[in-house]
Structure 1
């Protein structure tokens, strides 16, 4: 099995994630594919490439598309979602993701049962009977039939009219349950609110692969879009059992290949290896690099596959920086500034009427040229949200 260094693995991983940078003819920066062929050029292509994309925070999810589609604005991405190039639902681990619309049914069928298995305990905690949950499912199904579309608050009002109160986590669970069962899915927002539609009506022509093909497709997309990565990364991302994760990799066959990184077995798409950087004198990854200008910078949302796609994030994130990225280890990830694949800072933004204010908090020493490149990277974000950029001191 081919051995590669950590630094090589990180370069390959950034390419797989559709995050390498190049300068376009018009001078702005954007991602390019690793193998020189056309990279995914639209929302459908990106979400299919990655298989699924974290979307519990909508603003983060939209920028996850924007950073990979440098010519798109937030309006362009939202319009693509209205065209049903992707949709939001809870396909794995009980967490909201963007998925290719025609794949939502089989992804829920494949990965949903493990989440549903824990639903009874959650209902018991909430004081919600299974009979009431099924009744809510029927009510919502009937109300939305025929092309209906309701905001979250409207869904809860419909339930309340039928005697099913949906305040707080009670209501959230009912909408989650109906979506997990494949009855509802999340459509683009109406105003600032989630909207819900019937999945069967929103996607009338779903893909229906058999279980082995579904496992193979999931494995191929995971490792193509995040490799080199481990089998444990794959199992953790999907919520599948270790046996099913292994079965999916085997079913993908020669569409995946194995490598070792510091003795750890990982998988990736074979075509990626053709562009592995040569390192005659491999160096370990820096944890706290000295001030040195240079490198490629990206500004990524907190909930991005760049970190959320892995159980072991040590290639991208130094141990001493974890508390800054996941304060309190509570599962809420901060937005990151990334240099050559490594996290070097966090950022927060405030959207005003005509401008976006950004505060950057470096985690390592940065030089003058670094700061200029970071500002240039944020210009891409400002274009995406349609505001002028203002960098403010921390």
Structure 2
């Protein structure tokens, strides 16, 4: 069986994440290909799309949000994702059990004795008037029946697990600060969610596996599980194994992939790219060694924005006091500094936040 080096896996990831060459695909098609963008920080997807799409402008994502082509909703790993409306409708049912289990586990003590089905029915009755509500307002409408649980716990149960919700604009629009207003996905999109097929081969899971591999492969089954948060995909993988090809990584682990997906040469040039906080290219794997060194794994879960140099995380970046600051963990070579600085100036122009300068510092503080 062919062994793929860490560098080969890196270049495959960059190609499929549109980080080797920017794509001319429109926003909706790009979001669909990427299986969504993690978006709990509402403005981070703009930088992620800028690094991936040719001639991307913020109004393109604003329009996709306001015309309901893409939506913000809790999905993979119980985090807020920006996904297409079609994917939200198709995938949400497959994530329901995971979402409920994670919220109930997080608030086990606070929600003890609560019947989630009763809470869900009451919440749907409140939302039946088709009026957007904050989580606080929804909980207040139910507090006569459930006065005991903390508002946060009951609200998370309702909004992140029991009732498939869209977070409505202006939340997530460019340079706009707005709180979260929720509306059921089916109401916002004008379509019912796809029912979960009663099929042991898990057809929705099969689609998730294929789509994941197209955007992230080659990958292990543990990577698929880490990305989706779903434990129950073995049946889906088994059902489509004849469609897939397999490799081994340098540790001997089996990697699954689609036959015709791009796997560029490890020697392919990788340009500097600036990634937003919690970017999929890093968080989409159980083993992130293809793109980030073990010593810096803490950066990816601490919400720090990353800079890729030669395809790997080589620095973090922030905007502060009208300055775009880049902090590498090691001194950058002169050629690397030049490439990072050039892309940083391009990013500063895109962000349009009155940035006066770009500064590359020398060291990166350790993050645990």
Contact 2:219 2:255 in 1 (8 A): yes
1:40 equivalenced with 2:28 (yes/no): no
Unaligned runs of 5+ in 2: 172-176, 362-368
| CA deviation profile, 1:29-86 (whole Å, cap 9, x unmatched) | xx14xxxxxx5322x2122112232122222233222322242223321221111222
Cα distance, 1:320 vs structure 2: 2.6
**Corresponding position of 1:347:** 317
Q: Tell me which residue corresponds to 1:7.
A: 7
Instruction: Look up the SS of the partner of 1:320 in the other structure.
Output: helix
Residue of structure 2 in register with 1:364 after alignment: 330
Tell whether the 8 Å contact from 1:84 to 1:101 is kept in structure 2 after alignment: yes
- Mapping 1:163-242, distance limit 5 Å: 163=143, 170-171=151-152, 173-190=154-171, 191-205=177-191, 206-208=193-195, 210=197, 212-241=202-231
Select 1:384's aligned residue among 330, 350, 362.
350
SS at the partner of 2:302?
coil
* TM-score normalised over the length of structure 2: 0.82
- What is the Cα deviation at residue 147 of structure 1? 4.4
Q: Quote the residue 1:304 is aligned against.
A: 279
2:144 pairs with 1:156? no
Q: Distance in 2 between matches of 1:167 and 1:96?
A: 27
8 Å contact from structure 2 (residues 275, 307) kept in 1: yes
Shift of the alpha carbon at 1:133? 8.8
Instruction: Work out the CA distance in 1 between the residues paired with 2:245 and 2:169.
Output: 37
Pairwise CA distance, 1:231: 1.0
Structure 1 position 381, deviation (Å): 2.6
Say whether the 8 Å CA contact 1:123–1:129 is kept in structure 2.
no
* TM-score of the aligned structures, taking structure 1 as reference length: 0.77
Report the equivalent of 1:256. 244
**Which one has the bigger strand percentage?**
1
Residues 1:209 and 1:49: Cα distance change in structure 2 (over 3 Å):
farther
- Tell me: CA distance 1:388–1:256, structure 2 relative to 1, closer, same or farther (3 Å): farther
Q: How many Å apart are 1:142 and its aligned residue? A: 4.9
**CA distance, structure 1, for counterparts of residue 280 and residue 168 of structure 2:** 21
1:117 correspondence with 2:107: no
Structure 1 gaps, min length 5: 22-30, 33-38, 280-293
How far, CA to CA, are the matches of 2:265 and 2:161 in structure 1?
42
Moved more, 5-14 or 123-132: 123-132
- Tell me how far 1:197 sits from its aligned partner: 1.4
Instruction: Write the distance in 2 (CA, Å) between the matches of 1:209 and 1:163.
Output: 31
Q: Aligned match of 1:320 in 271, 275, 295?
A: 295
Post-superposition offset of 1:332:
2.1
Question: How many Å apart are 1:348 and its aligned residue?
Answer: 1.3
TM-align CA RMSD: 3.2
Cα distance change of structure 1 residues 118 and 278 upon mapping to structure 2, 3 Å threshold = closer
Could you say which residue in structure 1 is the equivalent of 2:37?
A: 53
What residue is the counterpart of 1:290 in the other structure? Answer: none
CA drift of 1:188 comes to 2.6
Distance 1:393 1:2, change over 3 A: closer
Q: CA deviation at 1:139?
A: 6.3
